[in-house]
Every structure is written in structure tokens, then in C-alpha cells.
Structure 1
């Protein structure tokens, strides 16, 4: 002990540490005192998992450690990693958690051979096959570049039977309905069920609500009576797609090309505003054509994002599972094809505007069963990680007016109730919450609103959501758009435009427009003064 007393402080610590290690029989103790030690521990755990793979491969088995996807057998014989030849499974990757993905490149026509993609950009985009491990089913599931299920090459199925999509069940043709893919997009997301057959000869019947597109871009009568501050609107138009034998040959339409260029010249950031659900419901060919059209137009210089779904589940779909499958498939395809673009979806949940008025909630759930708050939550789980989630706002005012809206024992407006409900359900964990506002546009031919009414609307639909609820983006429908025989506008609506400019919220506000046949956008230069982003219907 006297010798220890004569040592320096650092020497004492080293001596005591050695003593502790000797007492533990030479077992190294990993301290979690520093981040570096924790990281080293993580690497050690990873090495244990890798060791499991090596041992399993040596025994000729495909048994993974708990929760890990099995890796296909190795190829090559030393000398560093080698690119596998066609029809050979890829080399063993590092250990990956359940839900991980890997990509292959089709090396022969029809997907008869796959090679693992080793470097980004080494495979043509239309040849990429994405496979994802589904821990629930214990197998890999694979889709092609447009999200259609595909079967693995015979060599994969022979090398690891039961672990790859094999057989005719995973193939499809233009007249088959889109079937569910056994993929869990993220932890906790609901499983997607297969859908009943869809007769491609019978187009789906859509009954859009206010703010929901009608097939072919023709607004349908709204089930909600319109008022002066809640127009029945058609915020987006499904792409007009004619099925062709070569969907990859889609060029950007001249009107969209011109509209995007004009928006950029006005200092605005253009988005494409489409709804792919109609093409999805028509079958594989229409869906693939629509995807290729979007990809081609998103590649135009300056396009920053794509909003690809409008008021999901309100119309068109016959079941909630069908709507979720559309979202899961489309989000995965566009995220793969457009990795540098922002993606957005729009949802509507009428019951949220009811607050805690149970009679109102029951009425909304009965009238709109596929867009209850619970179903919308499941839709958002299907697109977890989407860049922006638009919640339709300013609708159903006539129905809300029949009830006393309360929340937490206090009387609130439908807008306040909606945003309180959005945050209470944690929708912000799936993506950035934004507002798709429908009540500000002025109907053509109607008397201009007075300043007091406009100030109240702006406070309710813009100021409070931004300042009190943290909404960072509000998109206004819309300038020179029509619903039925009624036109709507923002710029020439009396004092409304000046009140919007006075908000000094250009970075927060955006606008929806529909370009003319030649791509012209009415009042574009003036719109650029009040809005940073512009959503171009296509």
C-alpha cells in the first residue's frame, strides 16, 4: 500500500484498474463512460452477428440470428469482393436489421438474371429491382422499377428455397389488379392485405369531396354544401394516361415544361401536383405510364418536389387496405426513382374538425368511413418519412356549423380542433405537417369580403396554425381555378391579396395553379411576390 501511495494520480488509476481486471479473472470490462467505448461495443456486437452468418454458411444453412434477414450465399473465391455473374445471388452483406433493403440490376430481358448493384448509377433506372426483407413472413419481397411485384431468378430460388418470391403468384399483367406486397415499410406499420379483383373495363366511380379530384379532371358535385368561405374545389387533376407498350418513353408535356420554366423565371420553386390513385386503380399499364410521366416531368430543371396523392381514401378506393397499398407502392417507387426530390401527400380527416363533440364525430365517421382519423393514421404509417403531409383545411364548414365544437372543455373553431387533433395523434412523426387551405379563395362574381372577414379568415387559417401549432407550410387553393361552373381566385379578390402580402410570409405560403394549354400561368409575376412555392396541376 505504501508503494501505491507514492505513485502519481494517473499511475494509481492504472494500478487500481489492473487490480479490478485481475479480480474478474482477466475478463475485459467495457466501460460506457465515453462515446468511443460505446461505439467499440457496438462493433463487437456486430462482429458477433457476422460470426453467426459465417458459421451458418460453413454448415450449409440459411439460419439467421433472431431478427436478422438471411444473407444469400457468397460468390467468388477470395481476393476481395467480386461482382456476381448474372443469375447468382449477391455476396453476403454486413448484418442488417429486419426491414432492410438491397437492390439488383436486371441483366437479361424479363428479369431472368439479376446482379447486385455495387455502385450507385451503375444500373439503368428502369432495370433496378428493389428487394426488402419482411421479418413477418421470413422472406425477401421484390419489386421492379415501377413497384410491380416480380419473382426472383431460378438460381436464387434453388439456392435458398422459401426465402425469395418464386413462382407465378408474384407476376402480373396489364389487366390484373394490383396485389399487395408482403413488405413492412417500417416498424409498427400494418400489414397490407390483398385486394379483390378490379375489372379494368369498368373505371372506378369517384365522388370527390370539396378539394378532392374527380376522374379525368372534371370536378364532381360535393357531398358537403358549399358556402361563401368553403368552396367545393378540385385541387389536383389525375394525369391523362393512354396505356402504351413502352411506358419508359414518356416525355415531359410541353405545357408543364413551359409552366415550370416560367415559375423559375419568376423566382418561385415549382412542385408537380398530381394524383396517381386514378391510374393505380385502372391497372398496371396505366399506373406505369403515369409513373413514367411524373418521373419525366420531375426531371425538368427546377422542379423541387412531387405531391402525388390527394385526400387519400375519400373517393375512388373501395377499401382502406386498397388505399394503403397504393400509398405504400407509390411512395416506394417515387422515393427510388426521384431520390433528390421532396415528396408530399394530402390527407383529409373530417372528424378532426369536430373536436370532442361525439355526435359530430359519429356523423363524420358514418359519412366518410375510409378517412376516419384512425384510418388516416394508418395511411401515414404507409408513407412514414414522406417529406410533407398536407392536411386539408377549411372544408366541411356547413356540417361543422350544425354542432358545438369543443376541445378540452372549451369552445373552439373547427380549424383549432383539427390542428389540436393532428398533434394529439402524433402525425408529425411521419413527416412535416402542412396545411392545404381551401377557404380563402374568392368565388368569381361574388361580392368581395370586407376587411374584417378577411382578417378573421387569415388569423384562423394562417396566423394561428403557424404561430400556435407550428405549421411551417400553407398552400392556398387556388388562383384562377374552377369547381363546376364557379371560378376562384386570390389575386383579384378585393383586399384579400393585400392582406396576404401584409403577412410577410412568402417562405411559408404557396399557391396552386393550373397552367393553360400553352403552359401560361395567370398573374405569375405578382404571385411570385407573395408565394415562394407554386404547385402546378398536371
Structure 2
């Protein structure tokens, strides 16, 4: 799929440079969606529906109907095995390793168990913790709510991220101190994937100028990579301009209202390697574009077309983020439609690689909104989400260990029934 798309882009670019129009097949047919792109979109960018919105709803309904029986019946593919004892079968020998079976988690080097130091040929200490975190700092990090939650999450199949906000620390001149606390938390729990270091970047009122925003991203990313080599860095933001599609009046209004959220600036953060994962929120899609008769469904479609056209996924993993399932009462048909639009649609054609769903949040009045029932009582929404097992690795959620539903171990075990990744909030 990606190879074919790359070939189309190269062919289209060559034609445009030669002054030749794009081929007729890019304009005709009911699967064409070029009308949703801006007028200044390069000629070699072609939009084609793999599954149109109404088809996506039918696809979701097919897999969710009858308690997901079709998904159950599909089953896993048979695993391919080779019997080296079978006559005529040759298996390679002489590869690396000691020829012995080892359990998952066994140390690669004698002496490399947790807390130990690998033995070197001459007896010297050959391992240095790249984080520069001391044993005392690791111990203190483990004792925090986020540290205890990370240990509990490690007992589930979920991949673990640390979710924190470093913008305020940066503005207060305490970035290095805050980064070191994050590094201790990551170092305290082996297997942590990375750090989400900011949310609502450029959308909230933390930064007032583009220069200040760029400085925060570059300096924070540099500081984190220095103490956490190999770990992924994630950021959350919104791009209101994307929801406008080809509506020029809408684009002018969004550019004026949100000057810091310039797609070119955000794209530069990705191309320079500051961010490995970018989460785009869709909370604004339902109401922000009403003046131009653009509903939530169309705004979301416009957004993902723009993301694909810019090939942001060539630089970083793109995630969709949605908080509307929590606290929303939906009928069976509405729930199926919501899953189709908010989960299936962003994943369609790799517009987003993952979808982050908020499962619990508290509003200004103190009311708690949940996807599941209180104290994990059954709910229709939660039961439907549990049926999406085939895309579990692509589903993520956020969890605040300081405000548990029951306790971290219980909560994270339940969350792992739906999600393949979890972001643990660290104050």
C-alpha cells in the first residue's frame, strides 16, 4: 500500500514539474475526495476513499453485531511452523547464542539482573546508567503514586508511557529539575516506552509567542533525550485549521484565532525530530465550525485528509485523541456509529496509527465522567469497546494514579481488557 502510494506521489510530482496535468483517474469516480482538500494542495496529492464514511459504519457494524461473533469466528491465522526433523528439511545452524533455551526476562549478560552490574572481561564496571539517576532517586520515584502505578501496569500486557506537563516548569526556569524527576520515574520501571511532556500545546494560554513555543519544544526535547536516550517523546495539541478543509473563510478565521497552531510550525517539530508521537485532539470538532455549516463528521474527515497530505506519519506516529465517550449515554446504534467515526475513521488508511480514548475525567463541578460504570460496574459502552480486541494494540488511554477508581492494580487490569497502551499521569 505505502509502496504504491509512494509511486503515485513520485509520478504525480514528475508530471507537475513537466507541466502535465494529473491523470484522469485521479479526478473521476465516486471514491474521489479531492474536493475536501485546499485549493493550493499540490497536484500530485490525490485523495481517494478506501472506505467511504457510510461504508465505514457498515464495516464497524459487521464486526460489532451479535456481540462480535464475526470477529470471534475469524480467529487467528494458523501459525507457520517448520519441523527440522522432517526428511528433506534443512535448518540453519551455527548462529549466535549459546544454544540453550531461556525464559523471557532472563538477563542477556551474567550479573545483569535488576540492581546488578554486568560482569566485564577484565572485571571493571562496564555499565553506566545513561539517565544519571541514583539508586536513592529511583527508590523515591517508585514510592510516588505514578511509580506504584507503573509497577502495577508492568504486570499487564499494556505498554506504559509517563504523562506529565513540563511547560509550567519551563516557564518557571525549573526545566532541568523537572526533567530529572521524570528521568527517575522512567528509570525506576524498566520497559517504559517514553514520555508525553505536554498537552494542549499552543492551544492553551501558557505561551504567547511562536518563538517562545518553539524554544520550549526544542529545549525540552533536547533535555529529555539527554537523560532518556532511546525513549519516545510525545506531545498533545490541536490544529483547528485542519477542520476547515477547503473553506477559505473558515481557514482565515482559524488562522487569526489560533496563530500559534500553524501546521507548518508543528510539521517542523516533527521533521526536526523533537517529537516521536503527536496526539491530535478532536474535542473541538463538534462545535468550532458551526458558522460554516461543517459538522463534527466532516471536520474530522477534513483533519485526517490534511494530516495524510502532509505525510506527517513519515516523521512521527500520529495519534487521535477523544474524550467524548466518557460520560456520554449512547444507544446501541449511536454507540456503533460513534465507534465507527471516532475510532475506525482515524485509523482508516493509516491517518492515525493509534487512538487515545479518555475513560475517566472530572469536570469543573467535580462530577466524574466514565466510560465504564462506577467501581467498574458494567456499562454498554465498555462492553462494546471490549469487543475491539483485534485493534487493542492501537488503542490507548490515560490514567491518573492519584485519583483511582478502585486502586491502580485493579484499575489497570480492567483497562488492559480494552487498551494496549496507557499514559500514567505524573504530577
Q: Among 335, 344, 353, which residue is 1:472 paired with?
A: 353
Partner SS for 1:436: strand
Measured in 2, the distance between the counterparts of 1:355 and 1:120 equals 55
How many residue pairs match? The answer is 289
Measured against aligned partners, the alpha-carbon deviations of 1:144-164 in whole angstroms (never above 9, x if no partner) come to: xxxxxxxxxxxxxxxxxxxxx
Q: Among 384, 389, 400, which residue is 2:278 paired with?
A: 389
Provide closer, same or farther for how the CA distance between residues 124 and 311 of structure 1 changes in structure 2, counting only shifts above 3 A: closer
Partner SS for 1:442: coil
Provide closer, same or farther for how the CA distance between residues 523 and 451 of structure 1 changes in structure 2, counting only shifts above 3 A: same
Measured in 2, the distance between the counterparts of 1:372 and 1:461 equals 24
Could you tell me which runs of 5 or more consecutive residues in structure 1 were left unpaired when the two chains were aligned: 1-118, 128-247
Task: Establish whether residue 510 from structure 1 lines up as the match of residue 396 from structure 2.
Answer: yes
Measured in 2, the distance between the counterparts of 1:500 and 1:365 equals 36
Task: Establish whether residue 305 from structure 1 lines up as the match of residue 191 from structure 2.
Answer: no
Provide closer, same or farther for how the CA distance between residues 431 and 120 of structure 1 changes in structure 2, counting only shifts above 3 A: farther
Per-residue deviation, 1:120:
8.8
Per-residue deviation, 1:377:
2.4
Answer whether contact 2:305 2:351 (CA < 8 A) is retained.
no
Measured against aligned partners, the alpha-carbon deviations of 1:151-198 in whole angstroms (never above 9, x if no partner) come to: xxxxxxxxxxxxxxxxxxxxxxxxxxxxxxxxxxxxxxxxxxxxxxxx
Measured against aligned partners, the alpha-carbon deviations of 1:473-496 in whole angstroms (never above 9, x if no partner) come to: 11112x332131232211228321
Provide closer, same or farther for how the CA distance between residues 124 and 346 of structure 1 changes in structure 2, counting only shifts above 3 A: closer
Answer whether contact 1:395 1:439 (CA < 8 A) is retained.
no
Task: Establish whether residue 520 from structure 1 lines up as the match of residue 402 from structure 2.
Answer: no
TM-score normalised by the chain length of structure 1: 0.49
Q: Among 428, 431, 437, which residue is 2:322 paired with?
A: 437
Task: Tell which has more relative contact order, 1 or 2 (C-alpha 8 A, sep 6+).
Answer: 2
Answer whether contact 2:131 2:183 (CA < 8 A) is retained.
no
Matches within 5 A, 1:122-161: none
Measured against aligned partners, the alpha-carbon deviations of 1:221-252 in whole angstroms (never above 9, x if no partner) come to: xxxxxxxxxxxxxxxxxxxxxxxxxxx89931
Provide closer, same or farther for how the CA distance between residues 510 and 123 of structure 1 changes in structure 2, counting only shifts above 3 A: closer
Measured in 1, the distance between the counterparts of 2:419 and 2:156 equals 10
TM-score normalised by the chain length of structure 2: 0.62
Per-residue deviation, 1:290:
0.7
Per-residue deviation, 1:123:
9.2
Per-residue deviation, 1:308:
0.9
Provide closer, same or farther for how the CA distance between residues 261 and 124 of structure 1 changes in structure 2, counting only shifts above 3 A: closer
Measured in 1, the distance between the counterparts of 2:284 and 2:159 equals 27
Matches within 5 A, 1:288-367: 288-301=176-189, 302-315=191-204, 316-367=206-257
| Counterpart for residue 496 of structure 1 | 381
Partner SS for 2:352: coil
Answer whether contact 1:390 1:433 (CA < 8 A) is retained.
yes
Provide closer, same or farther for how the CA distance between residues 520 and 495 of structure 1 changes in structure 2, counting only shifts above 3 A: same
Measured in 1, the distance between the counterparts of 2:223 and 2:211 equals 18
Matches within 5 A, 1:51-62: none
Task: Establish whether residue 529 from structure 1 lines up as the match of residue 417 from structure 2.
Answer: yes
Partner SS for 2:182: helix
Matches within 5 A, 1:58-69: none
Per-residue deviation, 1:527:
1.2
Measured against aligned partners, the alpha-carbon deviations of 1:263-316 in whole angstroms (never above 9, x if no partner) come to: 122332221011211100111xx2121111100001122322211121221220
Answer whether contact 1:328 1:383 (CA < 8 A) is retained.
no
Provide closer, same or farther for how the CA distance between residues 120 and 337 of structure 1 changes in structure 2, counting only shifts above 3 A: farther
Answer whether contact 1:255 1:517 (CA < 8 A) is retained.
no
Could you tell me which runs of 5 or more consecutive residues in structure 2 were left unpaired when the two chains were aligned: 1-124
Per-residue deviation, 1:373:
2.2
Provide closer, same or farther for how the CA distance between residues 126 and 534 of structure 1 changes in structure 2, counting only shifts above 3 A: closer
| Counterpart for residue 364 of structure 2 | 484
Question: Larger C-alpha radius of gyration, 1 or 2?
Answer: 1
Answer whether contact 1:394 1:415 (CA < 8 A) is retained.
no
Q: Among 247, 264, 280, which residue is 2:154 paired with?
A: 264
Measured in 2, the distance between the counterparts of 1:123 and 1:456 equals 49
Per-residue deviation, 1:440:
2.1
**Structure with higher helix content:** 2
Measured in 1, the distance between the counterparts of 2:403 and 2:382 equals 26
Answer whether contact 2:285 2:300 (CA < 8 A) is retained.
no
Q: Among 171, 176, 187, which residue is 1:281 paired with?
A: 171
Answer whether contact 2:160 2:192 (CA < 8 A) is retained.
yes
Partner SS for 2:260: helix
Measured in 1, the distance between the counterparts of 2:140 and 2:286 equals 41
Q: Among 289, 299, 303, which residue is 1:418 paired with?
A: 303
Answer whether contact 2:160 2:422 (CA < 8 A) is retained.
yes
Measured in 1, the distance between the counterparts of 2:170 and 2:255 equals 25
